Amino acid sequence: MSKTAPINMRVEPRQHALLTKAAQLLHKDRSAFILDVACREAENVLLDQRLFLLDEAEFEAFETALSAPLPENAKLKSLLQEAAPWEK
């Protein structure tokens, strides 16, 4: 995949040193380190969303999926019949 969209930022010297040191510990260059951390945090932010808006057709599809019976799953059924680890 070609990298074509630049992201530029100015940081304090202290922040620059901190990022550089952390990247070196992971044997990464600073840009790769910053991108990895930023993307991981962005994914967490998106996964933490509790409110999502759907139009009528999307809501019906969502409701249908939630209402559909689950396929038979012997392994899951067996797991759910076991006592929880804190109950053993």
- Tell me the helix, strand and coil percentages in the chain, rounded to 5: 60, 0, 40
pTM of the model: 0.55
Query: Among the residues of 1-88, which ranges form H helices?
Result: 13-25, 30-47, 56-67, 74-81
Cα 16 from chain centre: 26
| Tens-digit pLDDT string for the chain (88 aa) | 678 888 899 999 999 999 999 999 999 999 999 999 999 999 999 988 888 889 999 999 999 999 999 899 999 999 999 998 888 7
Q: Where are the domains of the chain?
A: 13-69
38/46 Cα distance (integer angstroms): 12
36, 28 contact by CB (below 8 A)? yes
Distance CA 15, CA 23 (A): 12
Phi/psi for 25 (5° steps) reads -60, -30
